[in-house]
Chains A and B, each alone.
Chain A
Amino acid sequence: MVEALLDTLGLTKTVELLSLQPPGWGGNLLRGLANSLQIAFGAFGFGLLIGLGGAYGKLYGGPILRDLLTIYTTVIRAVPELVLILILYYVGTDLINQAASAMGYGRVEISGVAAGIWVLGVVQGAYATEVLRGAIQAIPSGQLEAARAFGMPPLMTLRRVTIPAMMGFATPGLANLWLIATKDTALLAIVGFSELTLETRQAAASTRAYFTFFLAAGALYLIVTLFSGVIFGRIEKWARRGQPSLREGNG
């Protein structure tokens, strides 16, 4: 019955092309999606670490550190991701190869996942710095002063006061960053890493069914986006628990 329905809709060929078994390309697309998500997760996490360090440096660091961080965030935000990806990719491979030859090893092949995480993580870090800096500044200063007055060491203050208190302010910005991370993985297609977009293009080019595959990949990206929206909505609700809603506050 399902086949008859597909036949009348003229979708039999589409289903064949997208099937998970080898004549179809669905398996390749899903593998590409898994690669994309892996890199997006890694880059987002790496970016958060850089961002937290960068935000602390910008808020509490010395003048030189602050100026350097300003240069970092300004340059990264003004230069296209594609150019940055190429520069960081070449710099990363050159540095690792020089280090390897200095230690007496031969040329090292760098895994695409590691390169992608490094490249996108550095880009994400610049945006995360700004998001987290704003969120930390939005914490009522009395809370941090109280923590200091109780004699909490800085790391404990970070873990117990700063991060929980800023989560509510940072979540919308971080949700945006996560979406940018998932979409930026597509750029790695240009340096030849087989994530979803490149897998899609290969499948499309070898079957000439461009619309089928690009629309299918678009649907996969859209599912990730919509699903992330739901998750981040939950996180924000959780992070803002106990805080008065902004909407009610404004009347």
Chain B
Amino acid sequence: MTGWRALLLPHRLLLMALFAGFVIWCALSLRWDWLPDYLPLAVEGLWRTIWILAVTCILGFLLAIPLGLAQAVGPWYLAAPARAFCTIIRGTPLLLQIWLLYYGFGSLFPQFPWIRASELWPYLRQAWPYAVLALTLSYAGYEGEVMRGAFSSVNKGQLEAARAFGMPRRMIFRRVWLPQAIRNVLPTLGGETILQLKATPLVATITVIEIYAVSSRVRADTFIVYEPLLLLALVYMIIAGIIALIFGRIESRVPNRRQG
């Protein structure tokens, strides 16, 4: 009773019929006339959400590798700051971090003439660099903790074998240690990426127009409450499903211990 056949159980068919009825009811009796007007904006917002998600996950993960390594095997003067960073990031709300960066630095920078004169100023005046920075640091903080466990869980014998073959330290890290650490935490990474997706709407509070901000604007312009929110929830569920699929695909491709 696995796979597609499990969907054909009588009670599931009933539930699916009910759900289909709900969808049809939604399509027919709720208001969707605003949709064509806002569709271009929604597509743009969706693209921005995905772009922010991808960039912050990749940058955050690159930052998480040294953070995890420092905590797992680093000397105390590297391990202590890394642990403090992870604790602070994980112990305070992301919304507060975003507002601290945006409003804090946003009000600090204009006081320095040399920053205003620099070439970076046009970017520093916009909201998205702060959004990307805050989300990157957040992902790095959570992932640093995950990678700490991953690095220390790699089998010692593997590292010793690599050393016995005379591999230089960098090569051991690149060919043995890092791949095995990442393989061990792939399921966790998938879950954390979905959590990161769920954190992206927070950047709408600092005027980054992503998909959540578009739905807020529809609500503010037309006073239609439920339709944009339901559609938004559906969009997020689809993206989360795609992320789960991608990570499932990667996991099935990576050879695990049992397959040798």
Contact = CB atoms under 8 A, between A and B. Distances in A.
Interface string B199-215: 11110010000001000
Contacts of B100: 210-211, 214-215, 218
B155 to A, nearest CB: 15
A201 interface: yes
Contacts of B91: 179, 221-222, 225-226
Interface string B210-227: 001000000000000110
A200 B94 CA distance: 14
Contacts of A145: none
B258 to A, nearest CB: 20
A183 B12 CA distance: 37
Interface residues on A, range: 35 or more
Contact of B95 (A68, A79, A189, A205): A189
A226 B225 CA distance: 39
Contacts of B106: 210
Interface residues on B, range: 35 or more
Contacts of A63: 9, 11
Contact of A78 (B12, B95, B103, B240): B240
Interface stretch (B54-62, B125-133, B228-236, B249-257): B228-236
A86 interface: yes
B212 A82 contact: yes
A197 interface: yes
Given A210-B104, A210-B108, A218-B92, 12 more contacts: A77-B194, A82-B212, A83-B229, A83-B233, A90-B229, A179-B91, A183-B92, A201-B103, A210-B100, A214-B96, A214-B99, A221-B92
